[in-house]
């Protein structure tokens, strides 16, 4: 098969590819972070690159404009080499680091003081019971009068200290146990790690008293971003937090594209697994470097991810998650050794995954519910995590119901031409003056605007409606006298920032079709909330508090979100924002035995409402494709 050399600029990375391999495939292999929202199907237009030298065979030009094609743009996912190539990857086509919301400080401070368990570990603070814990022990030396073996003697000492009966010694511990005990003159530090079936592993025995530091990781694997906290297991302190985009993004923006990628590509599952493992390993390396922590000293990890992310992380076939009746392979994953998963921490470390509820309500949501405390409190609480999907849990200590609605990636910038994630230059706050239609934009980092992030999109729709620029259906009102409203090739659009003001010499606009997309997204979320309420025979007014989680939630203006009908019309003081509750819950589980018991109960207790079954959701959705709703009585304050 003929193969050709391809040089990628400005990275100056080179690859040799066969004539049946796409340019995208080669870019992925070189780990150049390219956007490919649709997962290589030629529909999203994100992976466009500039052909500088050589010739390609493109099976499709997708949505590339004639102008772009004339400039030399090709779609990397649709193009195959027919000669040696030089390809430039423009900045606009690159995934770049963006703000990743980590734990909210209010949660960090509201440390669980409960959870003192039986381990009574000498090296862990009195109020924490971590998954990996160390104890100082002095063991009586053996005498001729007894036949106890070294292990038996050690276990007796641990039992005396902790009250725990059974231990499973690791072979590496047994192999050197006799010399360690004697060289240490019977004064040792013993490490206990929770493994499958609630069994405690005797994971390490070291001479002397344990002044050595051990760490744990709390990791949130999101479809878009991955966040990791490095935690000192002795005191539960978060040493550092890092977040980055999920390198799986080159295989598609949403879980469905990625599942399709695994089914349509022979090594697809392996590629997606490698991508997320690499993402996490890079975070671990950064955390380790910053704090001078050796990977070997990270002795356990807790993962909170949605169900698809868990499958992909573990290399488990995700095919049936997206096919009716939407059955995941596994919701409750047993602890696994780090080396089996390729995580670059101590190879024998146990990695625990937080149990999920259903194919589209995963461990990240269970984790969030744990953090809210709603599962053991009285008030009827609505917990919402809006990301690529909108996942919601409604209930209190008596019952909990959950659902997931395909909000689509619109609020994350997906399918919106000038949409982008929350990073420098993204318009995040907007006011539109009535009559003059003057626009005030506030951007992330106060930079010149280059696009619009989710919170900006909500404020734009709210602003356009309040200024009388759009009607209840999202159509631009005809006959208004402003140059900002104009007809473009793909229909009417509104200019938020002129090319002269923008950071990329382009008019930043929002099109009518995009407004419709956003209305459908917000309608899906609101219809999901209403469907759950109807299932349990309650009304919006019965909700006593609403807790919002996730990166998107951090920056949104609740008032505007109510105005457009995304969130229920409730007094603003009933709303709370709790940040990345997924990683916060993972941390709780890492540090508290009580939380570990609780999370199992929560996962078992939450029922799941499949919105695609029956007509309730569809009816609610149709009623919600208005601003704010077809039933104005639901939004009295608007």
Site string for a second copy, 331-350 (x = CB under 8 A): xxxx-x---x----------
Encoding tokens for residue 582? Answer: 């997924």
The nearer residue to a second copy, 83 or 263, going by C-beta atoms, is 263
Residue 189 C-beta: closest distance to a second copy, Å: 18
Nearer to a second copy, 56 or 609 (CB): 609
Which residue do the tokens 């949409």 mark?
Answer: 419
CB 193 to a second copy: min, Å: 13
Q: Least distance to a second copy from the beta carbon of 163, Å?
A: 17
Query: Residue 152, interface with a second copy (CB under 8 A)?
Result: yes
User: Judged by CB under 8 A, does residue 261 bind a second copy?
Assistant: no
Nearer to a second copy, 369 or 558 (CB): 369
Decide if residue 54 touches a second copy (CB under 8 A).
Answer: no
Residues 3-42 that bind a second copy (CB under 8 A): none
Q: Any contact of residue 207 with a second copy (CB under 8 A)? A: no
Q: Which helix (H) or strand (E) holds 598?
A: helix 593-605
Longest distance between any two alpha carbons in the chain, whole Å: 102
Contact by Cβ (8 Å): 245, 97: yes
Told to check if 266 binds a second copy by CB under 8 A, we report no
Position among 117, 125, 268, 328 found at the interface with a second copy (CB under 8 A): 328
Where are the strands (E) in 490-544, listed by range?
Answer: 491-497, 508-511
69 versus 327: smaller Cβ distance to a second copy: 327
Check binding of 175 to a second copy (CB under 8 A).
yes
C-alpha–C-alpha distance, residues 389 and 222, integer Å: 11
Q: Is 536 helix (H, G, I), strand (E, B) or coil?
A: coil
Q: Please state whether beta strands 400-405 and 390-395 pair in parallel, antiparallel, or not at all (unpaired).
A: antiparallel
One of 66, 70, 147, 573 touching a second copy (CB under 8 A): 147
CA 421, CA 136: separation in Å to the nearest integer?
A: 48
Q: CA nearest 358: which of 527, 603, 550?
A: 603
Among 17, 28, 314, 543, binds a second copy (CB under 8 A): 314
For residue 118, state whether it binds a second copy (rule: CB under 8 A): no
For a second copy, which is the closer residue by CB, 174 or 448?
174
Torsion of CA 381, 386, 390, 396, to 10 degrees: -10
Contact between 165 and a second copy by CB under 8 A: the answer reads: no
Nearest residue (CB) to a second copy, 270 versus 475: 270
Give the DSSP H or E segment for 401: strand 400-405
Return the number of the residue (191 or 470) whose C-beta is nearest a second copy. 191
Torsion of CA 354, 358, 360, 363, to 10 degrees: -10
Q: What whole-number distance in Å separates Cα of residue 209 and Cα of residue 188?
A: 6
DSSP for residue 542: G
Does 83 participate in binding a second copy (rule CB under 8 A)?
A: no
**Can residue 177 be called a binding residue for a second copy (CB under 8 A)?**
yes
Would you say 56 and 80 are in contact if contact means Cβ atoms under 8 Å apart? yes
Question: Helix (H, G, I), strand (E, B), or coil: what is residue 212?
Answer: coil
- Site residues for a second copy, 536-565, by CB under 8 A, read none
CA-wise closest residue to 129 among 591, 483, 484: 591
Calculate the CA dihedral of residues 159, 161, 163, 164 and round it to 10 degrees: -50
Residues 6+ apart with CB under 8 A from 414: 37, 253, 254, 388, 408
CA distance 300 to 516: 46
The CA distance from 179 to 514, in Å, is 70
Taking a C-beta distance cutoff of 8 angstroms, is the pair 454, 430 a contact? no
Is the CB of residue 283 less than 8 Å from the CB of residue 220? no
Task: Output the smallest distance, CB 358 to a second copy, in A.
Answer: 4
Identify the CA nearest to 50 among candidates 82, 19, 86.
Answer: 86
**Quick one: 276 or 333, whose CB is closer to a second copy?**
333
Q: Which is nearer to a second copy, 64 or 357 (CB)?
A: 357
By the rule CB under 8 A, 140 interacts with a second copy? no
Region 563-622 residues binding a second copy, contact defined as CB under 8 A: 607-608, 610, 612-613
Instruction: Work out whether 315 is an interface residue with a second copy (CB under 8 A).
Output: yes
CB of 420 to a second copy, least distance (A): 35
Tell me if 503 contacts a second copy by CB under 8 A: no
The one among 122, 151, 448, 638 contacting a second copy by CB under 8 A? 151
Interface pick for a second copy out of 97, 294, 317, 631 (rule CB under 8 A): 317
State which H helix or E strand residue 384 sits in. strand 381-386
Q: Shortest gap between Cβ of 532 and a second copy (angstroms)? A: 14
Cβ closer to a second copy: 235 or 327? 327
Among 66, 109, 292, 325, binds a second copy (CB under 8 A): 325
Confirm or reject binding of residue 94 to a second copy (CB under 8 A).
no
Contact call for residue 330 and a second copy (CB under 8 A): yes
171 contributes a contact to a second copy by CB under 8 A: yes
Q: Which residue has the tokens 């391999």?
A: 21
If one asks whether residue 80 binds a second copy (CB under 8 A), the answer comes out as: no
Q: Cα(436)–Cα(414) distance, rounded to whole angstroms?
A: 30
# residues contacting a second copy (CB under 8 A): 52
Pick between residue 448 and residue 534 the one whose CB is nearest to a second copy. Answer: 534
| Residue 572 three-state SS | helix
Residue ranges in contact with a second copy by CB under 8 A: 142-145, 147-153, 166, 168-169, 171, 174-179, 182, 196-197, 199, 314-317, 319-320, 324-334, 336, 340, 357-359, 607-608, 610, 612-613
């Amino acid at each position: 098969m003929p193969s050709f050399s391809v040089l990628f600029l400005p990275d100056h990375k080179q690859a040799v590819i066969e004539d049946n391999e796409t340019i995208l495939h080669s870019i992925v292999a070189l780990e150049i972070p390219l956007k490919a929202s649709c997962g290589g199907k030629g529909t999203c237009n994100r992976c466009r690159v500039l052909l500088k030298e050589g010739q390609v065979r493109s099976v499709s030009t997708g949505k590339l404009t004639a102008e772009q094609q004339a400039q030399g743009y090709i779609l990397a996912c649709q193009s195959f080499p027919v000669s040696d190539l030089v390809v430039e990857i423009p900045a606009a086509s690159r995934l770049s680091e963006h703000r990743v919301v980590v734990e909210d400080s209010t949660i960090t401070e509201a440390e669980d003081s409960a959870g003192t368990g039986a381990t009574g570990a000498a090296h862990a603070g009195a109020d924490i019971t971590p998954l990996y814990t160390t104890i100082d022990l002095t063991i009586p030396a053996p005498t001729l009068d007894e036949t106890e073996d070294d292990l038996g003697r050690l276990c007796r000492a641990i039992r005396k200290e902790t009250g725990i009966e059974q231990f499973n010694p690791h072979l590496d511990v047994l192999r050197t146990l006799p010399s360690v005990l004697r060289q240490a003159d019977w004064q040792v530090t013993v490490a206990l790690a929770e493994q499958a079936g609630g069994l405690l592993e005797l994971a390490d025995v070291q001479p002397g008293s344990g002044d050595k530091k051990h760490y744990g990781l709390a990791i949130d694997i999101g479809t878009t971003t991955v966040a990791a906290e490095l935690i000192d297991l002795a005191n539960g302190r978060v040493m550092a937090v890092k977040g980055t985009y999920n390198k799986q993004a080159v295989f598609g923006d949403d879980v469905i594209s990625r599942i399709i990628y695994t089914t349509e590509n022979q090594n697809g599952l392996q590629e997606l697994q490698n991508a997320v493992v690499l993402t996490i390993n890079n975070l671990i390396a950064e955390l380790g470097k910053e704090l001078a922590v050796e990977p070997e000293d990270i002795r356990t990890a807790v993962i909170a991810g949605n169900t698809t992310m868990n499958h992909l992380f573990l290399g488990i076939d995700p095919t049936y998650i997206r096919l009716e009746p939407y059955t995941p392979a596994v919701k409750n994953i047993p602890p696994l050794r780090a080396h089996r998963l390729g995580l670059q921490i101590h190879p024998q470390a146990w990695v625990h995954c937080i149990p999920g509820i259903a194919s589209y309500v995963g461990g990240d949501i269970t984790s969030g519910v744990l953090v809210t405390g709603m599962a053991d409190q009285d008030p009827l609480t609505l917990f919402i995590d809006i990301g690529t999907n909108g996942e919601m849990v409604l209930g209190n200590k008596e019952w909990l119901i959950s659902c997931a609605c395909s909000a689509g990636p619109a609020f994350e910038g997906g399918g919106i031409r000038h949409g982008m994630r929350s990073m420098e230059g993204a318009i995040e706050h907007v006011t539109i003056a009535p009559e003059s239609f003057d626009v005030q934009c506030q951007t992330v980092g106060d930079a010149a605007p280059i696009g619009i992030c989710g919170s900006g999109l909500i404020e734009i729709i709210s602003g356009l409606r309040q200024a009388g620029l759009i009607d209840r259906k999202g159509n631009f009102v005809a006959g208004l006298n402003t140059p900002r409203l104009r007809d473009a090739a793909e229909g009417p659009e509104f200019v938020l920032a002129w090319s002269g003001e923008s950071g990329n010499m382009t008019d930043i606009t929002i099109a009518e079709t995009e407004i419709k997309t956003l209305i459908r997204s917000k309608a899906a979320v609101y219809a999901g909330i209403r469907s759950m309420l109807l299932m349990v025979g309650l009304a919006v007014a019965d909700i006593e508090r609403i807790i919002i989680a996730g990166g998107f939630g951090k920056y949104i203006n609740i008032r505007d979100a109510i105005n457009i009908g995304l969130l229920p019309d409730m007094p603003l003081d009933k709303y709370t924002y709790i940040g990345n509750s997924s990683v916060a819950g993972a941390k709780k589980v890492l540090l508290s035995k009580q939380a570990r018991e609780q999370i199992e109960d929560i996962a078992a207790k939450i029922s799941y409402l499949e919105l695609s079954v029956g007509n309730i959701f569809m009816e609610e959705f149709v009623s919600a494709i208005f601003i704010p709703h077809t039933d104005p009585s639901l939004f009295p304050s608007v």
